[in-house]
Each structure stands twice: as C-alpha cells, then as structure tokens.
Amino acid sequence: MTDRNSSSGAGLGFGISLGTIFGVVFGLALDNLAIGISLGLALGVAFGAAYSARKKNDGGGPGSG
C-alpha cells in the first residue's frame, strides 16, 4: 500500500516547509535571505527526517499513544 510511503514523506515535506518559513523569518531578521533560507532548509530537512524516523519507529502518529 502507498499509505506507509506517503506518511513517511509527509514528515520530510512538513520539515522542509517549516524550515523554509523559519529561514525567511531568520533571513529577514539578519537582513540576509540567502543565509536564512539555507539554514532554514537544512534545519527543516533535519527536523523532517527525525520526525519521520520517530514516527516510523513508533508505529503510528500522534494519536497512537
């Protein structure tokens, strides 16, 4: 089934989106969008990969507790 594949990709996509938003805000604060977006994307990919790995190891999402 594709459900498992789509859920693992959702964490990475969420991380990249969150990182881009963080990068734009951080870049505006430093008055350098290139550095802000680069740092934001790097942090976003790391966050998304960690979230995907944790979710995969848990065997479920936030409500699986």
**Residue 61 dihedral angles phi and psi, to the nearest 5°:** -95, -155
Which one, of 64, 20, 14, lies nearest residue 41 by Cα?
Answer: 20
pTM, to two decimals: 0.60
Query: How far is the C-alpha of 12 from the C-alpha of 10, rounded, in Å?
Result: 5
Which one, of 21, 61, 55, lies nearest residue 41 by Cα?
Answer: 21
Residue-wise pLDDT tens digits, 5-62: 555 566 778 778 888 888 888 888 888 888 888 888 888 888 888 877 887 777 655 6
- First-to-last alpha carbon distance for the chain, in angstroms, is 23
Q: Name residue 38's amino acid.
A: S
Instruction: Return the domain boundaries, the chain.
Output: 11-55
